[in-house]
Structure 1
Amino acid sequence: MSVSGESKTPLLDQVPTPAELRKLDESQLRQLADELRSEMIDAVSHTGGHLGAGLGVVELTVALHHVFNTPDDKLIWDVSHQCYPHKILTGRRDRIRTLRQTGGLSGFTNRTESEYDPFGAAHSSTSISAGLGYAVARDYKGAKNHVISVIGDGAMSAGMAYEAMNNAGARDTRLIVILNDNDMSIAPPAGAMSSYLSQIVSSKSFQSVRHWGKHLAERLPRSLQATAKRAEEYARTLVTGGTLFEELGFFYIGPLDGHNLEHLIPVLKNVRDTDFAGPVLIHAVTQKGKGYAPAEAAADKYHGVAKFDVITGKQAKPQPKAPAYTSVFADALIKEAEDNDKVVAVTAAMPSGTGLNKFGDRFPDRTFDVGIAEQHAVTFCAGLACEGYVPFAAIYSTFLQRAYDQVVHDVAIQKLPVRFVLDRAGMVGADGVTHQGSYDIAYLGCLPDFVLMGASDEAELMHMVATQVTIDDRPSALRYPRGEGLGVPLPERGVPLEIGKGRIVREGTKVAILSYGTRLKDALAAADELAAKGLSTTVADARFAKPLDEDLLRRLASEHEVLITIEEGAVGGFASYCFHALARQGLLESGVKVRPMCLPDRFIDHGKPDEQIAWAGLGASDIVATALTALGYNDTEVRPARA
């Protein structure tokens, strides 16, 4: 509310759901879009989150909900970085300032959150496949609702989008795809002429003429039918573009100015009301960060933001106490590449997220961003490895899941020395369940001859990067977490580690804690607390999950009463490898009490990282409780608990 008591968003206040939006006159939609943009900027300034993408689709979001009868008509957002305006318009405005907060709204579409979110998404390039599934199911039911899939030009770089279009284009199923082109990578800026042409080709009259021409062509000799069809398509694509989409079987409309409601609304209505045979693709050109000057000026920096000042655009990022793991990895890889001209780096549309933008500044000819194409990235690295190069595939743990077959078939089976570097391994905070790096230990550890390493701090990360360079006879993977390191002293350059050998960090006699990766800090804190209770504790850093240091494991199991393994990974990972080794050696019958600590067998939602660790039961206090329980002590004093 303003100082005078008048609302700054009078129209938006009248639109709690799309039903009310559809009652507005088209002349009011421009004001509504402006108010919606202002509301989104203010909300994200308080919560942080994805800003630029949502600003770019404000008008498109208003137009879609105005023209189509959501939620009966299914609106499916790809990735859903851009879904905040959609959430505001679909009954969630009162909670929009809880975005990505504990117990608050998800930063992505979520089926359990609203009936207006028909499909959950946070990884890219799924909307056309899901939309086609919805459309086919609708036809089976004999229903008449529309299905609209919105996908960005970046997401179009993934093969899954083309697989879906190829499938959809071969059918007569009605599906509407909106290509949100915010990089102008496919088409030049759209203007009044392209809008006029798009309105014509989407109209009923044009479709009637096209339908008549199709029947006329069918009466021509067979030898001329194909020629007539090609002539019609060629004539239209000369002025409207879209040849690629037409070849895939889509009726192409565009490009349109995605911020001009007077252009969008008529085309969307035409598509809604015209009986197209088969799928339609509407090409809307938008600007990421539209309507907010700081985001327009630096769209990459305002894709995902911390809390910020609306007036200045300055983000409230806390001063780091230690360098980020991502930055340490980049610096370590640069040092290795300076000494080895065969080191190359590959990422899948995440150069800044993985630190490879820094590597690319230093070695532009040895850096490859292949787009949102993890499958291609992995096999591309496999080809490089075949020719003796040293490829590092820097991919988030959660995104490498998208290329698992390539990891197995193209890398592991052929024992090719591709070096996987898995950023965001473990809990990731506000991005939540879709981005947790929970499964890489399990899904890579089951592959023969893979070397798996987990960095316990940033200095270890540097040593492990150097180690990967030396592994030239098999694949390897290195995992490290999101965020800052621990502030430990860093070497000038990493030193290769002995493969499959862990290290003792602290000696003790009663309890042994074997940590893999980032839980080492809490393991040491737990050891301090146990020592204060009179329980001497050994802490070891496994370093390698595979090959496992079985000598170290045997020593810990045979010299201690309790052995705790801890990892920031799912069931089926490091602890499983330890249990297998202990069982083979007959040590499980020796009397040692083995207690595995890993992520629980459930999905962990968004929140602060330390909250997520607490929810998972992997903090220092949880380690202490596990040790005391195993020893039969209560949690207040060290003596046998009474039966």
Structure 2
Amino acid sequence: MTLPTPLLDRIQSPADVRALSRPELKQLATEVRDYLLRNVARTGGHLSSNLGTVELTIALHHVFDTPDDRLVWDVGHQTYPHKILTGRKERFPTLRQAGGLSGFPKRDESEYDTFGTAHSSTSISAALGMALGAQLKGESRHCVAIIGDGAMTAGMAFEALNNGGMPHAGRVPNLLVVLNDNDMSISPPVGALNKYLARLMSGRFYAAARESAKQVLRNAPPLLELARRFEEHAKGMVVPGTIFEEFGFNYVGPIDGHDLDALVPMLENLRERKGAQFLHVVTKKGYGYKLAEADPIAYHGPGKFDPAVGLVKPAVAPKPTFTQVFGQWLCDMAAADMKLVGITPAMREGSGMVEFHKRFPARYHDVGIAEQHAVTFAGGMACEGLKPVVAIYSTFLQRAYDQLIHDVALQNLDVVFALDRAGLVGADGATHAGAYDIAFVRCIPNMAMLTPSDEAELRRALTTAYRHGGPVAVRYPRGSGIGAEAGREFDEIEWGKGVVRRESTLAEGRPGARRIAILAFGTLLHPALAAAEKLDATVADMRFVKPIDGALVEQLARSHDALVTIEEGCVMGGAGSAVTEHLNALGLTVPVLQLGLPDRFIDHGDPAVLLSQCGLDAAGIERAITERFISPPTTLRTVVNG
């Protein structure tokens, strides 16, 4: 059923939002929330966080002159209402689909998306840069950072606050930070007294009175200090803002983020204030949809569902995902070894650690959105003889690269990195794709990396990594594989050894025939096997990127006319590069075709379609090999990667 949206249908840009009355803004909020819920139910996407930001988004666009005033949204998955109100309503049904709207802000999608944000805790830094840029150019504009969904737990946010409240070129830049606090358990009750005091402290009367008192008491330093302390403690009794005041921000709040009668005048007051301002807004995840309010985690990023019914468990249990296989292994290994500790940077559900948390709470550590801390924290535990397993998305490990090198690898500490979401991730797009971990891990001394090809291999790879001394990464993709039964045993893989899964029947040296060997890293083994059946090629499951199985590479190079490497990671510096480096070291000259992700960012879309577009499905692999080595015939080249 399509519900009428008469007000929303009139909104072509935020200028139309600024023309609405307060009652109309409230009606608009109802229509946006209904429209958002119905569309996300059809496409899937981030739901709970966006239901919680409807009123805040409307108020910001109503008060500020966007896009000339800059809004920078942190944890970009809370920007669906923003997209709907900034001229993208008609395209919203294409959300997270190939060729459609991104699930995150993108500068090349809209002038209202002032900064690309998909990883967390970047908004204050970016908005501060914009504010200082405007100041240096002599331009008058407002820059607003909207941060929330746990992003204030990351050190980068506090680094930006530390810089944002200090003078630049003699004055503090005009910067407003809005904390969208949607974790109600840590927030004080929001009532009439808090609202009144917050509005009072945001207004010009309070600011003027404060400055006048400073001038009067300036000649009596003891009284001035007494007044300052009294003000600080008085504010501290009703608002938790002392820490932000110490950073140089004027703290205001907390206020109800769903109350437009509070939000609009508050933002109007703060718009007139100079310098660094901090507004604490309390919202509720899933607001306005009772099922999401009751279980915001389940509705954080649901697939398609019927809003009238809610999420329903499938009648037939789906194949276990790689994440679930990891979660089961973690529990099993923890039961067998008391030294195991599990660490996650705020991804308990996403990394499959819910059961581990329930069964081993003393050995479970969620450090918040603090990837750098997570890695060094694991290193410290390893120094004490514990066995840390860091469950982290491939794309998020990028944020802790220095810690990976300096705090773990350099000291050769015994830490296992379980890299979930390796390779393409579909609807989340380029910001969340694990395209670079092979390249950036394999170049680090002491690091090892395994690339299991299915669920059973993942369990064996994790066991192997756990029992190996030193830092080891195990990469695996989002979703399910071929459905290989993982079992509950603790079998290991021979260290540094791959295995041939298919042998070509072509005789060596047969006139007119070219023996091809495909070296597969990870789950692309299976489309490689399908292509090999048509080409009669040899296929090796390499299992390890580092240490590379040099003996197997040499054997295949000497017994075949050409090699093909396949990986769901960037070609530049990836597993294929490891093979060609080894061939160079041996002085072997054999043609090598490296297949993997191209040197460009891969946009969002269906994972199978994206792999096909990258030539990494069975048909694409067969086509690439045929074009290079089989038809038309080519002369054997004598250079690596020819």
- Please indicate the TM-score interval, normalised by the length of the shorter structure: over 0.9
**Aligned: 1:288 with 2:285:** yes
Which residue in the other structure is 1:504 paired with?
500
**SS of residue paired to 2:433:** coil
**Aligned: 1:62 with 2:63:** no
Amino acid at match of 1:12: L
Give ranges in structure 1 of 5+ residues lacking alignment: 532-536
Which residue in the other structure is 2:553 paired with?
553
Alpha-carbon distance in 2 for matches of 1:528, 1:483: 26
**Aligned: 1:144 with 2:143:** no
Deviation per CA, 1:240-270, whole angstroms, max 9, x where unpaired? 3311111221110001011111111111111
Percent identity over paired residues:
51
Alpha-carbon distance in 1 for matches of 2:191, 2:86: 30
Deviation at 1:319, TM superposition (A): 5.1
Go from structure 1 to structure 2 and tell me whether the alpha carbon gap of 1:383 and 1:289 turns closer, same or farther (over 3 Å shift).
same
Alpha-carbon distance in 2 for matches of 1:469, 1:326: 17
**Aligned: 1:230 with 2:226:** no
Alpha-carbon distance in 2 for matches of 1:57, 1:318: 34
Amino acid at match of 2:366: D
Which residue in the other structure is 1:370 paired with?
367
**Aligned: 1:30 with 2:26:** yes
Deviation at 1:611, TM superposition (A): 1.1
**SS of residue paired to 1:263:** helix
Deviation at 1:496, TM superposition (A): 1.6
Amino acid at match of 1:76: V
Deviation at 1:185, TM superposition (A): 4.5
Alpha-carbon distance in 2 for matches of 1:418, 1:257: 43
Amino acid at match of 2:24: Q
Alpha-carbon distance in 1 for matches of 2:405, 2:325: 28
Deviation per CA, 1:481-514, whole angstroms, max 9, x where unpaired? 0001211233331312121111111112411000
Which residue in the other structure is 1:609 paired with?
607
Deviation at 1:26, TM superposition (A): 1.3
Go from structure 1 to structure 2 and tell me whether the alpha carbon gap of 1:115 and 1:364 turns closer, same or farther (over 3 Å shift).
same
Number of aligned residue pairs:
621
Please list, as runs of the form range in 1=range in 2, the aligned pairs for 1:103-502 lying within 5 A after superposition. 103-152=99-148, 154-171=150-167, 172-221=172-221, 225-273=224-272, 275-276=273-274, 278-314=275-311, 321-472=318-469, 474-502=470-498
Amino acid at match of 2:252: I
Amino acid at match of 2:529: L
Which residue in the other structure is 2:579 paired with?
578
Go from structure 1 to structure 2 and tell me whether the alpha carbon gap of 1:565 and 1:93 turns closer, same or farther (over 3 Å shift).
same
Deviation at 1:384, TM superposition (A): 0.7
Amino acid at match of 2:618: A
Deviation at 1:631, TM superposition (A): 2.4
**SS of residue paired to 2:623:** helix
Answer yes or no: is the 8 Å Cα contact 2:75–2:149 preserved in 1.
no
Deviation at 1:192, TM superposition (A): 1.2
Go from structure 1 to structure 2 and tell me whether the alpha carbon gap of 1:285 and 1:208 turns closer, same or farther (over 3 Å shift).
same
Answer yes or no: is the 8 Å Cα contact 1:306–1:317 preserved in 2.
no
Amino acid at match of 2:72: I
Which residue in the other structure is 1:621 paired with?
619
TM-score, length of structure 1 as denominator length: 0.94
Alpha-carbon distance in 2 for matches of 1:12, 1:640: 62
Alpha-carbon distance in 1 for matches of 2:367, 2:17: 40
Which residue in the other structure is 2:38 paired with?
42
Further displaced range: 238-247 or 191-200: 238-247
**SS of residue paired to 2:184:** coil
Deviation per CA, 1:204-244, whole angstroms, max 9, x where unpaired? 111111111222233324x5544443333222332333111
Deviation at 1:113, TM superposition (A): 0.5
Answer yes or no: is the 8 Å Cα contact 2:410–2:446 preserved in 1.
no
Alpha-carbon distance in 1 for matches of 2:225, 2:597: 59
Deviation at 1:582, TM superposition (A): 0.2
Answer yes or no: is the 8 Å Cα contact 2:321–2:479 preserved in 1.
yes
Go from structure 1 to structure 2 and tell me whether the alpha carbon gap of 1:364 and 1:292 turns closer, same or farther (over 3 Å shift).
same
Give ranges in structure 2 of 5+ residues lacking alignment: 507-514, 636-642
| Cα RMSD for the two superposed structures | 1.6
Alpha-carbon distance in 1 for matches of 2:316, 2:231: 61
Alpha-carbon distance in 2 for matches of 1:627, 1:88: 45
